[in-house]
Chain A
Amino acid sequence: MCEHDQCTSHAGQKPDMRPVYPKAGSYPHFAKLVDTQKAQVDRKVFHDQEIYEAELRQIFGRAWLFLAHESQIPEPGDFLRTYMGEDNVIVVRQRDRSVNAFLNSCPHRGNRVCMVDAGKKARGFICNYHGWSFGIDGGLRGTDGKVYDSDATFDKGSIGLTPVAQIASYKGLIFATFDPDAPSLEEFLGDFTWYLDVMLDNDEGGTEFIGGAIKSVIDCNWKFPAENFVGDILHAFWTHQSGAQAILGGGVDLGARYDELAFQASVYGHGIETNLDKVGNTRTLGYPELVDYVFSRQKAMADRLGEVRARMVGAVSSATVFPNFSFLPGQATFRVWHPRGPDKIELVVWTLVNKNMPEHIKELYRKGVMMTFSPAGVFEMDDGENWEYSTRVNQGFVTRQQPLHYALGVGTRDDSRDLPGIIHKGSLNDANQRLFYTRWAEFMRFDNWHDLQNGETAPPQRMAQRQAAE
């Protein structure tokens, strides 16, 4: 490993325990698996282990990833445990009320220092292996016994849990990245914040998550559910016919003004499809009182967000924040699809409500999400098998050579509407899925954020500025 004399010269020196944040590479041969001209995605991206490893490095090692809602950890020492990609992290409220997050791995032998899902008012975290203990700021506080007291190389102050490189909140949602060079969270989200505000800012009191989370395992590639939420309302009519029948007594309804109103918007691969039908999603929760509630708030929401976004709050709609954080406006379910290899995910689901909602309305949202988008829910029940077999079939060598059709709505780009992002006409469209995979390819190809933020998926104004500058 090193020259002998160098080794001896290191004797007695303190080990370098500084955090290591991985550097991105460039995988142009993987990027080419997304063919924007032919509107095709090569099935290898759902199967190949090497591509999966590249995703962990290029995407989950760099992108801002959703961690938690501020309301889940209100007090100093309140914490929860989650994942960024496959990396387990502890998210903990600090004494100054800021939030930090750390890799859940002891710098001694690597064991987890936190085994529980969440907790209140922790003073720190102690590794079960050798008793190394850490403050909620991640710093090493002590070890079991006194053996290190007489070890001159042991520098407690230089040892701690590895913090994420950057952490920030957007209107209650906490995100973090392992990339010190990543742009700010708001730059990463870009104009998509305009659409996030539909859920996060339709009331002055802000939002909160209802307590607890439902977690489940689906044997599918993480991109299938992410692309499903980014722009696939098409599947609702066929996949969810049974759920719609059970709750509504009829099919999913996109509203009478579909041709005029429905659209897809995409910014940096984040995307939303919506029908501006006011209450279509809320109606599927099965409680007429919730529909009345959303209608009753239309004027207040329009005053705050404008007419268009007020119509989005309860509409038939779905969204994904690239890469793996999705939500359904109207149904109030927020979820992360944690990758677990190319053919498995862990799904975590929460319910988001406005703090100012009456308690009985919050309770109906909790129950509505449980009835619809939960493992026993009448909609979610029928999603998993589709994604599992879309993934599993690609074990077939010949099968995975076959093209997939992502061409619905090619040529429907609509630059006439005054809406942020890349707009396509109609929500029944593969446009957002194409842009999701284009973003995926950008992450594979580019090793720097300048290129990442100025590629094909950048918002049109940004592209116009760049072209003017050139």
Chain B
Amino acid sequence: MLDIARPFSDFTRYADADTERQVTRFLYAEARTLDREAYEEWLDRFIDKDIRYWMPDMETRRRDDRRGAFCYGEAAYFDDSWDELHVRVKRYNEPSAWADNPATRHAHLISNIEVFETDDPQLVAVCSAFTNVRNRNETDQDIIHGRREDVLRRHGDGFKLSRRRIFIVQNVLLSKNLNTFL
């Protein structure tokens, strides 16, 4: 469940409607926080201290290639702990982070949300899809689509993100950088 290298597979028990609504609100609030580049707040409110935040590079492989499109421990865009995410956030906080000054205009669109119960009552498994739009300067625009597999942990009345696996649909990242979180 908390092994970042293991894919979601056979979750069959949907969470109840209240949990699903709570999780949906969590993900939308997280997206809105990222849209306004409130990265410190994102870490504090949404990210659990034991976070593993992983986004592998997506290789094009034959269907019969057992390695598949990605492999934990190889090249990745992110494979971060909380402290490592925080290093990236510290860069955003600098006025000389030129790729973000002037500010990038963000839209994190989240959809296809499915919430499942797990064997651990403290944890829920969440699948979602995203469209990420970044626009800068005059006409610079980057759009990334992908899917996420999240594990959320209950904290009091709410949740925090404990695991996130991010799979984009691009092989070559069709952008000059990735100045956001997905």
List residues of A whose CB falls within 8 A of some B CB. 115-120, 210-219, 238-239, 241-243, 245-247, 286, 346, 349-351, 363, 366-367, 370-371, 374-376, 378, 380-382, 384-386, 388
Judge whether B87 and A375 touch: CB under 8 Å.
no
Which residues of chain A are within 8 angstroms of B97 by Cβ–Cβ distance? 242, 381-382
Judge whether B75 and A210 touch: CB under 8 Å.
yes
Judge whether A213 and B57 touch: CB under 8 Å.
yes
Which residues of chain A are within 8 angstroms of B91 by Cβ–Cβ distance? 242-243, 245-246, 378, 381
Judge whether B177 and A245 touch: CB under 8 Å.
no
Judge whether B90 and A117 touch: CB under 8 Å.
no
How many angstroms from the CA of A243 to the CA of B62 in the assembled complex? Answer: 38
Chain A residue with Cβ nearest B172: A215
Which residues of chain A are within 8 angstroms of B71 by Cβ–Cβ distance? 211-212
Judge whether B176 and A378 touch: CB under 8 Å.
no
Judge whether B176 and A370 touch: CB under 8 Å.
no
How many angstroms from the CA of A381 to the CA of B100 in the assembled complex? Answer: 9
B88 within 8 A of A: yes
Closest 4 CB pairs of A and B: A212-B75, A384-B176, A242-B94, A212-B74
Judge whether A381 and B96 touch: CB under 8 Å.
no
Q: Report the minimum CB–CB distance from B20 to chain A (whole Å).
A: 30
Q: Kindly identify which residue among A119, A214, A242, A351 contacts B61, using a CB–CB cutoff of 8 Å.
A: A119
B41 within 8 A of A: no
- A-B contacts, 20 listed (Cβ < 8 Å): A117-B61, A118-B61, A211-B71, A212-B70, A213-B57, A214-B77, A216-B174, A216-B175, A242-B95, A242-B97, A242-B98, A245-B96, A246-B91, A350-B75, A374-B77, A376-B55, A376-B77, A378-B87, A381-B97, A385-B136
Q: Report the minimum CB–CB distance from A49 to chain B (whole Å).
A: 21
Given A242-B97, A375-B176, A381-B178: A212 in contact with B87 (beta carbons within 8 A): no
Judge whether B77 and A247 touch: CB under 8 Å.
no
Q: Report the minimum CB–CB distance from A332 to chain B (whole Å).
A: 13
Task: Point out which of B55, B88, B171 has the most chain A C-beta atoms below 10 A from its C-beta.
Answer: B88
Judge whether B77 and A246 touch: CB under 8 Å.
no
Which residues of chain B are within 8 angstroms of A351 by Cβ–Cβ distance? 75
A contact patch SS: mixed
B173 within 8 A of A: yes
How many angstroms from the CA of A245 to the CA of B91 in the assembled complex? Answer: 7
Given A215-B173, A218-B176, A375-B175: A210 in contact with B74 (beta carbons within 8 A): yes
Within 8 A of A (CB), among B28-61: 55-57, 59-61
Which residues of chain B are within 8 angstroms of A218 by Cβ–Cβ distance? 176
Q: Kindly identify which residue among B90, B172, B179 contacts A245, using a CB–CB cutoff of 8 Å.
A: B90
Which residues of chain B are within 8 angstroms of A381 by Cβ–Cβ distance? 91, 97, 99, 177-179
Chain A residue with Cβ nearest B97: A242
Chain A residue with Cβ nearest B181: A376
Judge whether A116 and B87 touch: CB under 8 Å.
no
Q: Report the minimum CB–CB distance from B24 to chain A (whole Å).
A: 26
Judge whether B177 and A116 touch: CB under 8 Å.
no
Judge whether A211 and B176 touch: CB under 8 Å.
no
Which residues of chain B are within 8 angstroms of A367 by Cβ–Cβ distance? 79, 84
Chain A residue with Cβ nearest B66: A120
Q: Report the minimum CB–CB distance from A455 to chain B (whole Å).
A: 34
Which residues of chain A are within 8 angstroms of B95 by Cβ–Cβ distance? 242
Judge whether A217 and B176 touch: CB under 8 Å.
yes
